[in-house]
Structure 1
Amino acid sequence: MDLLLLILGLFLSWGLLRALLYLANRGKPSMVGVLPPGPRPFPVIGNLLELGDQPHQSLTKLAKTYGPIMRLKLGSMTTMVITSPPLAREIIQTHDILFSNRLIPDTITAHRRDEFGLSWMPMSPLWKDQRRICNMHLFGNKILDSNQDLRRRQVQGLLAHVRKCSESGALVNLGEVIFTASLNLLANAMLSIDLADPTSETAKKFKAVVWQIMVAEGTPNMADYFPMLKKIDPQGAKRSNTDCITHMFDVFDRVIDKRLQDRKVPGAVRKNDLLDVLLDLSEDDSKDTSIFHIKHLFLDLLVAGTEATASTMEWAMAELLHCPEKLVKVQAELELVIGRDNPIKESDVARLPYLQAMVKETYRMHPPLPLVPRMAGANVQVSGYTIPEGAQILVNVWAIGKDPTLWKNPDKFIPERFLGLDIDVKGQNFELLPFGGGRRICPALPLASRMIHLMLGSLLNSFDWKLEDGISPDTMDMGENYGLTLRRAQSLLAVPLPIKKQ
């Protein structure tokens, strides 16, 4: 009760301050210009009540009334919401430099993630250096080509685990097994180790920690809308994020400490993975790389890369089980091109257009990042309106993917719409922006694309699938949980069946 009274008092104080500022500035000429339209804000709280627990959906409904560029007042924060490809292009491409940074949520200041996290740090020499490291040593085509055997082994391990479940008739939690395989694939590329075992509780715990981070960093937080609440952290979001990051850093510390000890052994064989590269840089006096930098980079890559990739694959499997005729079509293509139960190589994906179309349709309906955040670095004119300096920008990628003027039957899963359509996900086609675009585009896109097609194709080609008893395609729960990414509200459980030989 004392906390509620304190918060109420702070709200009233904030409202009084805003009223005094309004009276003091009344009659003075505006230096901002014409602002975009938007719903009338309530005193003090603004439009906060209109966000709900699914902000991407709430903002989509509001845009139907107020248009493709819309202004909201969220407490003290001015927010502009973009819901059309031409305006997304202006933000992400035309004015990319002015919108290159991101407004920092209070939760991101945990462990100074706003200063050292690749996803959040401002454009700077450090940001450019870390992107260069990722491109050269993890996500570049040359290194990805050389690591194909690593991905093949992870897929073989995934299929072996699923095959045991198939032989015993056990249900498979597809979200968990895909998450574990994705986590271990990234961990091996970065650290040369597995971080989770699909047969133990470690993967489930790791997944829970990752999702807690995504929720803490993605859920609307009162401390962002009313800065005077930051010290109180009324929702406990920053405390939760701090605890989760501490857990992740403890894992990294153990791995890094062991590697440092191994490197001291005479004649020790180098792993030549990302960790060795970063430790070499940390020992170079001319490079500004520390163990703290390394842990932050690993946090960003493992959390965002694993969660987004695993979530996309789980959604793809869910949509195929929800639309069995699409499952039949993609398996027919695999049988024709690869042969049922034969291993798939990454080079085979180019010969599987329906599989590629199915992945694009999953991105359209369930983009990993539903709201792409940016911040205005200056007053910018967009579509005749002024976006004021310091305003938060949200490009509603989810809304663009559900726009009926762009997509026929947008709520239906129709991979065929992408067959013969020259649209990719690399940030140049603004109707489909699952990884964002511009200089802030997700650096892991090249790896994610290879992983998703290879894992999905292998799961679909090696097994037939049916839903758990009592669940039919018509009764499946297709609800969403909102964090920084969109996860299924209910875990996807399915039974893998052995391939029926003709």
Structure 2
Amino acid sequence: MLYILAVGCCVLLLAKVVLSRLRAPLPPGPKGTLWHGNLHQLPWVEPWKVFTEWTKSYGPLIYLHAYGRNILIVHGFGPAADLMDKRALLYARRPKWSMAALTGRSQNIAFMDHNERQRKARALMQSALNPRAQREWGPVLEAETTKLIQNLVISPEDYKRHVKWYLASFINRFTFGFEIDDAHQKMADELSAHTQQALRPGRWVVDIVPALIYLPEWLPGMGFKRWASEAKAKFNSFVDVPFQAIKRSVMSGSDDRCMVANMLREIMQGESKFDEPALISAASSIYTAATDTTAAILLNFLLLITTHPEVQQKAYAEIREIVGSDRLPHLADQASLPYINAVMKEVHRFNPVTPMIPRSPVQDDNYNDYRIPQDTWVMFNIWSIAHDSTLYADPDVFRPERHFASSKAEPEMDPREFTFGFGKRICPGSALANAQIYLVISTILSVFEVRPPLNDEGREEMPPIAYTSTFVSFPKPFSCRFVPRNNGLAQQLALMI
């Protein structure tokens, strides 16, 4: 009997060894240490650029181990499309951020698992924000954009605050139907900072040891839970207070018109395939999706147009020819302004606002003869795709003309094919984002010449083109001047206030 048992153990051990050798290897990557893995090799300043350099040594798939988890960096449009589009269900899940859950972001569709509530919330957002719904949000967007330009006429030096106010004001009017005030804007800024802090890699011990999430706040070392609890309370209040106010209004029979009110009426009358939890997730997610990322794109536009006056001249010449100089561009003009659309595409490409997109496979996967273990943090390097010289000639040059066909070549890839994401988690508000970015770009250029700041000697000094290394990448602080054009639009807008 002992003999048979010993033979059986040997057979099992041999089978395990054989299977481990037959199993596909992990992708290549820098060699780490026994205790810390690759922790000390991880780059913190513009990591997407460092990882792109690493592809010269390791290829498009780079495997790392840090913070107790497998990490895979994926480069190239082909591999990204293969995994996120062709294997969409397998890569539809976000990695688990313990701090995102603790701060109340777990019901935001950007961080939710790919479950029924997330699918309903996405579908709801798509139905509310798609081009067919433009009759609902288009007039609000044009009115709020006009207000932005008026604020820039009055106090151009506060342009960053005006951009943030504009985005928050539009989203709140569209979603909840109310005007914002200084207190609301201050809380929105605070919540945005909380989100950026919660997602910062390596900042929180609970992201390294997720089991800590279950320990009580009063224990030593649990300060992160107290911080997260306060952040969660503020976030829930930010979303719940206006939602409940709209709900009470709808139940009282009001005819309020906004996304939440319209959807609530359909849900209460049994005429909707959606439900209230999905609507709450959609309402809270719209603000997150449409403020930080869009602000980063608009500020990037201002930086790039300031430093590329020749592009600005061509853009304004097109506006003057097609729209004229006696009114602001409208949403209906977009199809007639190809150069403005090319500028918008190039702003997306030059510095993608989310340089890396995280996903996590729901089961083990094999790709290109390499093994990708379940729950790996798979980081798709979007910046690397946007600067791939096989897709874009001279990728480090800001040149909108690349998006036009010529006698020598077809237009280069529209970067929005990947900057808005892939597969099951592609941005559901891309139609609104495109319309909003177009409208701001075209209206600013129709009213102002955006110029570099003046130095102490009174000469123009170009601001440096530099970006933050945060989850949403913003231009680093810079200055520019808004000089009204001599077409009289600035004066007309000032008189309308």
TM-score range, shorter chain: 0.7 to 0.9
Q: Percent same amino acid at aligned positions?
A: 20
Please name the residue that 1:424 is paired with. Answer: 414
How far did residue 234 of structure 1 move? Answer: 6.6
1:242-274 Cα offsets, whole Å, 9 max, x none, are 433422321333323332333344x52232522
Note if contact 1:78-1:392 (Cα within 8 Å) is conserved in structure 2.
yes
> How do 1:145-224 residues align onto structure 2 when only pairs under 5 Å count?
145-165=135-155, 170-173=156-159, 175-196=160-181, 200=182, 203=185, 205-221=187-203, 222-224=205-207
Q: 1:328 to 1:434 in 2, by over 3 A?
A: same
**Counterpart of 2:310?**
325
Instruction: Please show how residues 89-168 of structure 1 align to structure 2 within 5 Å.
Output: 89-110=81-102, 113-114=105-106, 116-136=107-127, 138-165=128-155
Equivalent position amino acid for 1:246 in 2: A
Task: Check 1:338–1:211 CA distance in 2 against 1; reply closer, same or farther (3 A cut).
Answer: farther
Indicate yes or no: 2:48 matched with 1:38: no
Q: Distance in 2 between matches of 1:233 and 1:369?
A: 35
- Alpha-carbon spacing, 1:123–1:194, altered in 2? closer, same or farther (3 Å): same
The answer as to whether partners of 1:372 and 1:397 remain within 8 angstroms in 2 is yes
Q: Deviations over 1:25-82 (max 9, x none)?
A: 9967427412110000122221122223233233223223211111111132111111
Contact 2:37 2:65 in 1 (8 A): yes
Residue matched to 2:450: 465
Shift of 1:488: 1.8
Question: What is the CA-CA distance between 1:208 and the residue it aligns to?
Answer: 4.0
Tell whether the 8 Å contact from 2:103 to 2:228 is kept in structure 1 after alignment. Answer: no
**Correspondent of 1:493 among 459, 479, 486:** 479
Kindly tell me the number of residue pairs found equivalent between the two proteins.
Answer: 460
Give the corresponding residue for 1:263: 250
Q: 1:276 to 1:245 in 2, by over 3 A?
A: farther
Opposite residue 188 of structure 2, the aligned amino acid is F
- For the residue of structure 1 that corresponds to 2:199, the secondary structure is helix
Q: Which of 20, 36, 57 is the matching residue for 2:49?
A: 57
1:283 Cα deviation from its structure 2 partner? 8.1
Distance 2:220 2:436 in 1: 38
2:298 is matched with which residue: 309, 313, 319? Answer: 313
Per-residue deviation at 1:493?
3.2
TM-score, with structure 1 as normaliser: 0.83
SS in 2 for 1:61: helix
State whether structure 2 residue 378 is matched by structure 1 residue 396: no
How far the C-alpha of 1:134 sits from its partner, in A, is 1.2
Is the 1:361–1:414 contact (alpha carbons within 8 Å) kept by the matching residues of 2? yes
Shift of the alpha carbon at 1:280? 5.2
Higher alpha-carbon deviation: 33-42 or 178-187: 178-187
Q: CA deviation at 1:293?
A: 5.4
Shift of 1:294: 4.5
Q: Which amino acid aligns with 1:449?
A: N
Larger displacement relative to structure 2 (292-301 or 413-422):
292-301
The structure that has the greater radius of gyration is 2
Contact 2:60 2:74 in 1 (8 A): yes
Structure 1 residues 272-281 or 360-369, which shifts more?
A: 272-281
Corresponding residue of 1:11? none
Q: CA deviation at 1:475?
A: 4.5
Map 1:214-253 → 2, pairs under 5 A: 214-221=196-203, 222-227=205-210, 240-253=227-240
* Aligned equivalents of 2:226, 2:387: Cα separation in 1: 35
Contact 1:368-1:435 within 8 A present in 2 as well: no
Unaligned runs of 5+ in 2: 1-14, 406-410, 489-497
Root-mean-square deviation (Å): 2.9
Segment drifting more, 69-78 vs 480-489: 480-489
Moved more, 227-236 or 308-317: 227-236
Deviations 1:208-248 (A, max 9, x none): 43133133224444432344565589796665554334223
* Per-residue deviation, 1:179: 2.0
Go from structure 1 to structure 2 and tell me whether the alpha carbon gap of 1:311 and 1:473 turns closer, same or farther (over 3 Å shift). farther
2:85 is paired with a residue of what secondary structure?
helix
Contact 2:302-2:450 at 8 Å conserved across structures: no
Q: 2 CA distance for matches of 1:86 and 1:152?
A: 38
State the shift of 1:422 in Å: 6.1
Aligned residue type for 2:471 = L
Q: Describe the shift of the 1:113–1:201 C-alpha distance in structure 2 as closer, same or farther (beyond 3 A).
A: closer
Q: Aligned partners of 1:234 and 1:37: how far apart in 2?
A: 36
Q: Does the CA contact (< 8 Å) of 2:420 and 2:426 recur in 1? A: yes
Cα displacement string for residues 339-364 of structure 1 (whole angstroms, at most 9, x for unaligned residues):
23521111211111111111111111
Please report how far the alpha carbon of residue 372 of structure 1 lies from its aligned counterpart in structure 2 after TM superposition. Answer: 0.9
Report the Cα distance in structure 1 between the residues aligned to 2:220 and 2:135, rounded to whole angstroms. Answer: 46
Give the superposition deviation at 1:326: 1.4
TM superposition shift of 1:467: 2.8
Verify the 8 A CA contact 1:248 1:299 in the aligned structure 2: no
Aligned-partner Cα distance in 2 for 1:106–1:366: 28
Q: Which residue of structure 1 aligns with residue 7 of structure 2?
A: none
Q: Judging changes above 3 Å, is the alpha-carbon distance between structure 1 residues 341 and 121 closer, same or farther for their aligned structure 2 residues?
A: same
Task: Quote the Cα distance in structure 2 between the aligned partners of 1:277 and 1:225.
Answer: 40
